Chain A
Amino acid sequence: MSDITVPTRSSGTTLSLDALSGPAARARKEGAIKAVFFLAATVSIIVSAAIVWSLVREAWVFITEVEWANTWGQNGWFPRQGLYDMPTLLVASLIVTVISMLVAGPIGLGSAIYLSEYASRRTRSILKPVLEVLAGVPSVVLGFFALFFLSPQIVERISRSGWLIIGAVILTGYVAMMVIWVRRTLQREASTSAAQMFTRIIVLTLFVLVGLVMVWWILRTAGSGDAGAANFFQVKRSGQLAAASIGVGILTIPLVASISEDALASVPRELREASAGLGARKVTTTTQIVLPAAVSGIVAAFIIGVSRVIGETMVVFMAGGAADAARFTDSPFEGGLTMTAGMASLATGTDNVVGEGLTFQSLYFVGFVLFLITLTLNVIGARFVRNVREKY
């Protein structure tokens, strides 16, 4: 059965299947090559196992030996004195996460929608590289930027004159409303009676008066107390959690943008065409059709963004305004240590980690907590990404 007759030009030789499989040496060589490639692939399993093993080994020592009273409700993270107050690190990480996602979320998503839905090929070729360059900027550079620019120029000013900023935002909104109203009324009626003109002038005067009262009130509030308007122009150089957060946010913009853009690109063209065919405007199509269809991927972008933000170290370490140890704070305008910055500052200063008893182990405990948080977020994020792929 294994004999197959192959007709050849010379004569009818018999060829077996064994002969077709080639020389044994060749098969051995192929097998060896496959084994080498397989070994390379298993490196990732070994590395994963090594990470978990190294984290768990030292974290376990910490968990079993630490006095639990010292890990909760103390007034700060002072590892070299044996005070490991986890809330200090967790709250700081939470502050950084919230503020940086407030920066990265809208800017990343907005950029993605513009690039995917609105930009012409030419605009895209100009604007897309901006995000690509931003994605390549090392985090130490953002740390430098956060400490030397964002902190003194932006955060200090906001924290010293918060009312001025908030007031300015409200006032801008108010003026925008007024402009829209004026435009609408001018466009609606081509010609108007004198009575109508009169009421309009009165309404406009009221608008302006209310606006002036607002300006007066804001200046008065901002001018009183510590948060004086005069302080707005003073410059001080030091780090705060808020400055670091904005830096981390800038670093995360390209990540959020690229995952959201992938999600938007996977929405079938037919959906957009059907919507346009029914007479929907571009903005309606984008917000009512495309965004809901891609929502899974956008959620994934935010989740993976959060995971990246929590794990970001250098920016917070350099611009977070705390070294070595930190008091508990829940204000973004003060210095603080996140989980990652706490780890980095334990490892600097001297070239090895030294300190009271469990300092070295506390490093691994914090690392283990961080590892679990990011792993959970990444797994959830990956599930959302898969949802988009399966849907279309």
Chain B
Amino acid sequence: MALSTIGGNGRTTARVDAEIYRQGRDLKGRGFQYLLLSALFLASLFLITLLIQVLTDGWPVLSERFVDFFTGTLRSRSSDDALGIGQGLAGTFWIAIFVIALSFPIGIAAAVYLEEYASENFITSVIDVAIRNLAGVPSVVYGLLGLALFVATRDGNSTLFAGGVTLAILVLPIVVITAAEAIRAVPSSLREGAYGVGATQWDVIRTQILPYAAPGILTGTLLSLARAIGEAAPLILVGAITDRLAPRGDGLLSLDQIFDRFTAMPIVIVGWVQESGRDQGFGPAAGAAIVVLLVFVILMNSIAVTLRNRFEKKRG
């Protein structure tokens, strides 16, 4: 061993060897790594505890009266057999329709304009700044906007229309930003090739850019839809019903309910959580409603994320 010539005796050799090869040499490094890992561990712990808490609270209600719970309505007593989330589901369904009908076309069109048409001028930069700042505006403030625009005065009537349009406005910046990102990722060779064979700008957008960017755009729209479904604050401000709402006779697809008072899944949950102080049974009911909401939201999010990952990998 070359090292043995330095010190001359075996003890020094052993010491040098120990310094170099001993276990746990990089104590600080190990400690740091475990510290970082514990951060992720804590985040996972929070998520798992949350899921367990919600499931254990909501399970009795879901297992006992699964079908009734979906068709039931808002009630004043938790022991009522007709207690359920039917009205909440209907409200959330219509809000989703509003988001799909308003935010998706407008948002994607705005993204196409910003990426494909806009020249670098004053108006473009104003639009850009406006979208970026809108994305950071707290959701309650959108509620105030909805209240001012659609409910107008304190005597005004709050309708499903007001809630739906407010949430559509809320997620619009998210749709624009994600769609613009997807369009930016389209290789310019596709555009140039299409222009080269005589396509007009609209042809290029229609036949090349939108199809290529479709997975990215779809990811963004799914994420924003999930966000809209779970959002409660703007609806509360606009005046969604948290306590009791007379059941409607007509079906889910009836257009009349758009201009009637409404509730939605997150609002049902908020209402029941508040009632649980007075009537303990509302706690499990809220838990069950959360399970239903979470299934929808997590499903949508995971489809979106899987879609994004798959296409990112495919296109390298």
Contacts and interface: CB of A to CB of B under 8 A. Distances in A.
Contacts of A250: 43, 46, 50
A36 interface: yes
Given A41-B110, A127-B44, A374-B137, A140 B117 contact: no
A291 to B, nearest CB: 11
A57 B148 CA distance: 10
Contacts of A111: 36, 39-40, 43
B144 to A, nearest CB: 5
Contacts of A257: 43
A370 interface: yes
A140 B46 contact: no
Interface residues of A, number: 96
A286 interface: yes
A138 B290 CA distance: 9
B126 A45 contact: yes
B85 interface: no
The A interface is mostly helix, strand or loop, or mixed, namely helix
A129 B109 CA distance: 30
Contacts of B231: 138-139
A340 interface: yes
Given A143-B273, A147-B273, A148-B57, A351 B241 contact: yes
A132 B305 contact: yes
Interface in B151-177: 151, 154-156, 158, 169, 172-173, 176
Given A41-B118, A148-B53, A314-B233, A54 B273 contact: no
Contact of B110 (A40, A310, A313): A40
B138 A354 contact: no
Interface stretch (A63-71, A161-169, A202-210, A342-350): A342-350
Interface string B277-316: 0000001001100100110011011100100000000000
Given A139-B230, A190-B15, A351-B261, A37 B26 contact: no
A30 interface: yes
B52 to A, nearest CB: 9
B185 interface: no
A375 B223 CA distance: 23
Nearest to B114: A41
Interface in A130-150: 130-145, 147-149
Given A114-B39, A115-B40, A140-B266, A340 B138 contact: yes
A44 B128 CA distance: 9
B40 A110 contact: yes
A43 B172 contact: yes
A8 interface: no
A40 B107 CA distance: 7
B144 A44 contact: no
A38 B15 contact: no
A138 B47 contact: no
Nearest to B38: A110
The B interface is mostly helix, strand or loop, or mixed, namely helix
Nearest to A373: B138
Interface stretch (B27-35, B67-75, B187-195, B249-257): B27-35
B47 A313 contact: no
Nearest to B36: A114
Contact of A107 (B43, B301, B302): B43
Nearest to B105: A40
Interface in A153-186: 180, 183
Contact of A352 (B36, B158, B232): B158
Nearest to A118: B33
Given A140-B270, A144-B286, A344 B239 contact: no
Contact of B44 (A54, A130, A139, A378): A130
Interface in B120-152: 126-127, 130-134, 136-145, 147-149, 151
B226 interface: yes
A133 B47 contact: yes
B54 A144 contact: yes
24 contacts: A30-B201, A37-B116, A40-B106, A41-B110, A42-B127, A44-B110, A44-B173, A47-B130, A57-B148, A110-B39, A118-B36, A129-B302, A132-B302, A133-B47, A136-B301, A139-B232, A340-B233, A347-B143, A352-B151, A354-B154, A367-B141, A371-B137, A374-B137, A374-B138
Which 3 pairs show the lowest CB-CB distances between chains A and B? A311-B138, A138-B230, A110-B39
